[in-house]
Amino acid sequence: DGESLFISDLHLTPDQPATLDCFLRFLAGRARAARRLYILGDLFDAWIGDDDDAPLHRAVRSALRELTAAGAECAILHGNRDFLIGRAFLRETGCRLLPDPCLIRIDGEPTLLMHGDRLCTDDLAYQRFRRRVRHPLVKRLFLWKSLASRRAIAADYRRRSAEANAEKTATIMDVNQQAVVDTLRRHGATRLIHGHTHRPADHVHEVDGRAAQRLVLAEWRDGVGEALSHSASGWRRLAIE
Ligand code: OKV
């Protein structure tokens, strides 16, 4: 019943036009022929509100609208950067927002979809930042500000985050193994698909004596992407150029 495609971490930004072009070609080609596209967070490198009318945002909105108008379904999860994607964006693109985590069935197997940042429980500074900026009242106060002051606040966050990350080790920035097993168990899932860590791999975890699979998606960069595909012929990683 058609192909499902999973992508994440495109981090679209005007500084990387080759990656934007790659994504637009993907939407008009492989994705349009698929039954459903899942975007598991961080489609954008930054998102400060649906009212941001930057050219990149307009190009992506209309390309997603063309995809959904052509009959492909597009489901999107918030990432750690574009968690302010809201109702106006969804209305304009025809995309559906899924909660993080979201349990779906693929081939009868309970499969959990996440962005992945919630699994990085060793990064206490990031989890604190996450709780703060995702608080409904904090989000509303931020969105009440003018676009100009939101841009200034966001630039400040990005500068401070780059400084903080330079001091963090690779282990702190990866998923916590216990968090993975706890999450799989809590949701009764035998498969987990996520992005965020930029460490594409197929992992096997043991959950209560049973094997569970964790498929980690790759980031898109320098005009090259990756999509995880599921169809009647099984699972495949596709290079997107
Ligand atoms: C997103 C991340 C920048 C990581 C700020 C309230 C507050 C939202 C915000 C500002 C930043 C998103 C919206 C961005 C993610 C960064 C740097 C690091 C690790 C507030 C609500 F508190 F200021 F009022 N933000 N932007 N980072 O530029 O897209 O995820 S962002």
In the block, which residue shows the tokens 């498969």?
191
Does position 49 have pLDDT exceeding 90, yes or no? yes
Q: pLDDT at residue 164 above 90?
A: no
Phi, psi of 182 (to 5 degrees): -60, -45
Of 42, 54, 52, 67, whose CA–CA distance to 14 is shortest? 54
Beta carbon of 142 within 6 Å of any ligand 1 atom = yes
- Which of ligand 1's atoms lies nearest the C-alpha of 141? 24
Report the alpha-carbon distance of residue 81 to residue 134 in Å, rounded. Answer: 11
Which pLDDT score, from 0 to 100, does residue 43 have? 98
For residue 150, the ligand 1 atom closest to its alpha carbon is 10
Instruction: Write out pLDDT tens, residues 110-127.
Output: 999 999 999 999 999 999
Residue 128 pLDDT > 90, yes or no?
yes
Helix (H, G, I), strand (E, B) or coil at 226: strand
In the predicted model, is pLDDT for residue 59 greater than 90?
yes
pLDDT given for residue 173 in this prediction? 84
Which residue has 């216990």 as its token pair? 178
Residue 108 confidence (pLDDT): 93
39 lines ligand 1 (CB under 6 A): no
For the CA of 130, the nearest atom of ligand 1: 30
Nearest partner of 12 among 73, 76, 60, judged by Cα: 60
Q: Which residue has the higher pLDDT, 37 or 53?
A: 37
In short, whether 152's Cβ falls inside 6 Å of ligand 1 is: no
CA nearest ligand 1 atom 1, residue:
81
* The pLDDT value given to residue 120: 97
What is the per-residue pLDDT for 20?
98
What's residue 25's pLDDT? 98
Pick from 84, 127, 133, 197 the residue to mutate for probing ligand 1's pocket: most ligand atoms within 8 Å of its CB: 133
Q: What is the pLDDT of residues 61-95, one digit of tens each?
A: 999 999 999 999 999 999 999 999 999 999 999 99
The response to whether residue 158 sits with its C-beta less than 6 Å from ligand 1 reads: yes
ipTM tops 0.90? yes
In angstroms, what is the span from residue 87 Cα to ligand 1's centroid? Answer: 18
pLDDT confidence of residue 165: 83
* Secondary structure element (H or E) that encloses residue 83, with its range: none
Q: What is the pLDDT of residue 84?
A: 98
User: Could you give phi then psi for residue 166, rounded to 5 degrees?
Assistant: -60, -25
Residue 85 near residue 64, CB atoms below 8 Å: no
Task: Please report, to the nearest 10 degrees, the dihedral formed by the alpha carbons of residues 54, 113, 217, 26 taken in order.
Answer: -50
Q: Strand 109-113 relative to strand 191-194: parallel, antiparallel, unpaired?
A: parallel
pLDDT for residue 171 is more than 90? no
Distances (CA, A) of 197 to 88, 123, 200, 215: 28, 12, 8, 12
pLDDT bracket for residue 102 (50, 70, 90): very high
Region 11-39: mean pLDDT is 98
